Amino acid sequence: MDGFVYSAAAPRLISARRNELRGKMDFDQAGRHRHQVRTPSHEGRGVSTLGDLETRLAQRLDPLETPPALAAGGDHDFDTGVQSLTPAAVLVPLVRRPEGWTLLLTKRADTMPTHAGQISFPGGRIQPNDADAAAAAVRETVEETGMPASFIRPIGGYGAYRTGTGYIISPVVAYIEPGFALAPDPREVDEVFETPLDFLLNPLNHQRHQREFGGKMRSYYAITHGDRYIWGATGGLIRALYERLFGEAAR
């Protein structure tokens, strides 16, 4: 299938040419802006064709009204040492395309003060006027990508993710109705793009990397798709979704 990229500089749909999965992983890819668009590869599927995805989501996601529990540090958590964590929410947007399910992601603007150039889910802090995590995730998605809220249908969550920068993130899974048009906010987002979900939820594509943060070596999940390097909280949240849906605990 072709890849879809919505550019903040030119908010239009781009049909990209095919590109085979690269095996090389490089930290520099995380912050480097690429102008050429690569097509998602479907090599190495590990979770069939996700034909029962909707059933699994209905059975295994938490109800949206269930508040996330702040659990002790686990495999997906950095050992932060932070006593007070800031609540945040991200949208995990699933799009049903004729070729298969995709996951919509953003590339943060290179001018952002934190995590510049990195790939992320749309989202941000939960504000006092947000009714809940789902409302915050939808609001942030509309603000960052320009997607009309009418195309977004939140369906559930899967716990909480604690970051090394002092946030506790509530992931909100949502169905995205095809046919939307996007206008990314160039102050926050360079690109909005879609990647095949069966590739992202294939455990063969999940690698454990290490990097030094604050004088300590820390490990995290990373996924390389074409020339895109997905890591940190985004990689961890994708891995956590795989584990919630397919019941395999990370080691």
E-assigned strands of 44-151? 86-97, 100-108, 119-120, 123-125
Q: Residue 117: pLDDT above 90?
A: no
Q: Residue 7: pLDDT above 70?
A: no
SS3 238: helix
Residues 159, 69: contact at Cβ < 8 Å? yes
What pLDDT was estimated at residue 162?
Answer: 87
Q: Residue 180: pLDDT above 60?
A: yes
Q: How confident is the model at residue 175 (pLDDT cuts 50, 70, 90)?
A: very high
Task: Give the residue among 141, 200, 203, 126 at the shortest CA–CA distance from 176.
Answer: 141
- pLDDT tens digits for range 182-223: 988 888 888 999 999 999 999 999 988 767 666 666 777 899
- pLDDT tens digits for range 45-76: 444 456 689 999 999 999 987 555 443 333 44
What pLDDT was estimated at residue 197?
Answer: 96
What pLDDT was estimated at residue 67?
Answer: 54
Rounded to whole angstroms, how far apart are CA atoms 62 and 58?
9
Residues 121, 92: contact at Cβ < 8 Å? yes
Report for 8-17, 23-32, 62-71, 223-232: range of highest mean pLDDT: 223-232
Quick one: tokens of 129?
A: 């006027």
* Average pLDDT over the chain, rounded to an integer: 74
Quick one: tokens of 116?
A: 């510049």
Q: How confident is the model at residue 97 (pLDDT cuts 50, 70, 90)?
A: very high
Q: Residue 95: pLDDT above 60?
A: yes
CB atoms within 10 A of CB 130: 17
Q: How confident is the model at residue 40 (pLDDT cuts 50, 70, 90)?
A: very low
